[in-house]
């Protein structure tokens, strides 16, 4: 058996568009949404990036570029599903993924189980999610952005 580890990081600023929904890990949260070409789901993006990196398949920007008009407003969980298919096609399968969301808002804990269940279903392996507060430090603490970090372990199929 061969195993590999990949790391993913994503950051999106908070949008000034009041009609934009906040989506993290495929779950809608109250509050202003994040700006981005797709639905700006930083959690799904970080998980996607970690899985692609672990399998040596580049990164989310290479596979799903924000210059592609067909991806405008895309559902990031759908992009994650496509990345998992690419992973399988390359002979890899996820073992597990861990993701940390860094932001003072929204609170992750109330929706953690729902996020983990949806991500686990798409990835086909356990995905854990946790939140970390910034204690008001910097632009993240000012509520200007959300960052997600993920690490993925994959093995040969």
**Whether pTM exceeds 0.85:** yes
CATH architecture of the domain 3-156 equals 2-Layer Sandwich (3.30)
The pLDDT assigned to 110 comes to 96
pLDDT digits (tens, 9 = 90+) for 16-64: 999 999 999 999 999 899 999 999 999 999 999 999 999 999 999 999 9
The pLDDT assigned to 1 comes to 67
Mean pLDDT throughout 109-119? 98
CB 12 within 8 A of CB 35: yes
Between CA 48 and CA 45, with CA 6 as vertex, the angle to 5 degrees is 20
- The whole-angstrom separation of Cα 1 and Cα 46 is 25
* Domain residue spans of the chain: 3-156
The pLDDT assigned to 12 comes to 97
């Amino acid at each position: 058996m061969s195993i590999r580890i990949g790391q993913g990081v994503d950051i999106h600023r908070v949008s000034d568009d009041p009609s934009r929904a906040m989506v993290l890990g495929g779950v809608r949260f109250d509050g202003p949404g994040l700006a981005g070409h797709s639905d700006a789901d930083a959690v799904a993006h970080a998980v996607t990036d970690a899985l692609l990196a672990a399998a040596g398949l580049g990164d989310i920007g290479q596979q799903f570029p924000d210059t592609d008009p067909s991806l405008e407003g895309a559902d990031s969980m759908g992009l994650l599903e496509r990345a998992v298919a690419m992973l399988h096609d390359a002979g890899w399968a996820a073992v597990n993924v861990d993701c940390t969301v860094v932001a003072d808002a929204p609170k992750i804990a109330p929706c953690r189980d729902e996020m983990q269940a949806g991500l686990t279903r798409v990835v086909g392996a356990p995905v854990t999610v946790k939140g970390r507060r910034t204690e008001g430090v910097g632009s993240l603490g000012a509520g200007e952005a959300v960052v997600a970090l993920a690490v993925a372990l994959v093995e040969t199929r």
